[in-house]
Amino acid sequence: MKRLIVNADDLGLSVPITDGILESHAHGIVTSASIMANGGAFEYAAAQSKQHPRLSLGLHLSLVEEPWLTTGTPMAPDYGAFAKSVYGGQIQPQQIEQELRAQLTRCREHGLTLRHIDSHQHVHALPAVMRIVVRLAKEFEIPRVRVPLDSPFRSGAIGSSRFLGKTVLCLLSLQAANTVRAAGLKACDRMTGLFESGSLNEARLLAILQHLHEGTTELMCHPGKRDANYAHWKFHWEDEWKALTSPTVRSLIQSLRIQLTQ
């Protein structure tokens, strides 16, 4: 059987992006979303998500670009700078653990039940971070951790933005999958959408669905409404929102007997 988790990242980043995600769930195929505990619209997202009890929630661990809850400042601007700081000793494991614990605790204090952990720019795939994520996922009784097991060789992947970096991430994920499963936590059989990140549209989504494998796949997506504060990301938020609410997409899912799940 082909099972598909459609997970929208960046819930709570801003109000427009949060609204787009929730509409993609209410009127589309999004089954799950990852909330940013240090996002500018976290309070809004936490309250609004409670109006959608069928939407599964996870933590979108944010350690780059956005201010940390424990320091009040961003510790690194992006994945590359973060990795250098971690392995260069400028960011210590105990600092990462304190921040992750703070983000998990904030979600719990707002009455949110978390079913998975993933991260902004996939920083949790770094072995030094994954070990901490796994330990706290077990402590907070969170059953699943995202492993970005996409394939750089599939149709639609080659030629995407940051192709080399995403390919390295796929290789890191092979080790990450072993770490997660050895700890008794769940990981999907594979993930897709990594190479379409920020540029998923209806045509690309239809192609992904047509080549979906047996087992459980997580589709990572970024629906939203236009937000000038994040224009520098160059994400096509509204294209993804439209694709995920497309009747054509839903019809294909039904015809291929793909089971939407959480």
Q: What is the pTM of this model?
A: 0.96
pLDDT at residue 157, rounded to an integer: 76
Mean pLDDT of 231-235: 93
Q: How confident is the model at residue 171 (pLDDT cuts 50, 70, 90)?
A: confident
Task: Round to whole Å and give the CA distance between 34 and 204.
Answer: 22
Q: Is the pLDDT confidence value at 160 over 80?
A: no
Q: Is the pLDDT confidence value at 140 over 90?
A: yes
pLDDT at residue 82, rounded to an integer: 95
Task: Round to whole Å and give the CA distance between 171 and 91.
Answer: 23
Domains of the chain: 2-261 (3.20.20.370)
Q: Is the pLDDT confidence value at 164 over 90?
A: no
Q: Is the pLDDT confidence value at 56 over 80?
A: yes
- Angle (CA) 192-165-234 rounded to 5° is 75
Mean pLDDT of 220-238: 94
Q: How confident is the model at residue 172 (pLDDT cuts 50, 70, 90)?
A: confident
Which of 4, 6, 8, 42 shows the shortest CA–CA distance to 235? 8
First to last CA, the chain: 15
Give pLDDT tens digits for 193-220: 999 999 999 999 999 999 999 999 999 9
pLDDT at residue 166, rounded to an integer: 87
Mean pLDDT of 166-191: 92
